[in-house]
Amino acid sequence: MKYVYIARHGESDANIGNVFQGPHSALTAKGREQAALLATRAARLPIEAIIASPWTRARATAEAISERIGIPVEYSDLFTERRKPDILEGKEFGDPQYQPLYDEWSASLFADDAPAVDGGENFAAIIERADRALAHLEARPERHIFVVSHGFFTRVLGARAILGDMLTGPHLEAFTRTLRNDNTGITTFSLDDAWRIATWNDRTHLAELETD
């Protein structure tokens, strides 16, 4: 049996802002606290490898884990967040100049045959990447792998693991709109004869930060 623990990065500047997030958004002070708590949690797991998205917020989160458990991070573009049109990064939500482009691109993620929009990933592209990510994890020799990725892409991986070739754009839309990924929430995939989801968005390590 193989276990893959996939955590969303800690809270980033753009998570609490009013802008479209891209690769370069850094962790907030709270995000760094979350990453430290995640690292303490990870130290109790039998981790043999750490893989992370190279985007700034995921890199910082993974580095906190690496420093805590003494395993170097391997960075892979397979685990980045969904790729928006580059021009959107840092632009404000609702900006009449850019919101229509965001809406068009977002819709392309949930329609089976939608064309790509201005360099952003569409349904076909993100599913193809999810397949490569799952195949990469399956092929690795380690039995316990920790991955630091992003909220939307983790949901894509979950949808693909559950539905396989039955996954459609509308299915993905329902899945991503319904399931939540909190910052540093851990989702555990297991693999024997097939991929399964053992836990979703486990955030017990964040209990001391809770205020409500």
pLDDT per position as a tens digit, 10-19: 999 989 888 8
Reported as a single tens digit per residue, the pLDDT across 19-29 is 888 899 999 99
For 146-150, what is the mean pLDDT? Answer: 98
Residue 211 pLDDT exceeds 80: no
Q: Are 127 and 109 in contact (CB under 8 A)?
A: no
Report field, pTM of the whole predicted structure over 0.85: yes
Contact between 7 and 185 (Cβ < 8 Å): yes
Find the mean pLDDT for residues 87-104.
93
Alpha helix ranges (H) inside the chain: 29-42, 56-69, 99-108, 123-139, 151-163, 169-178
pLDDT band at 64 (very low <50, low <70, confident <90, very high): very high
DSSP helix/strand/coil, 157: helix
Whether the CB-CB separation of 190 and 25 falls below 8 Å is answered with no
Rounded percentage of the chain residues whose pLDDT exceeds 90: 92
SS (H, E, C) 9-21: CCCECHHHCCECC
> 136 is written with which tokens?
């990469």
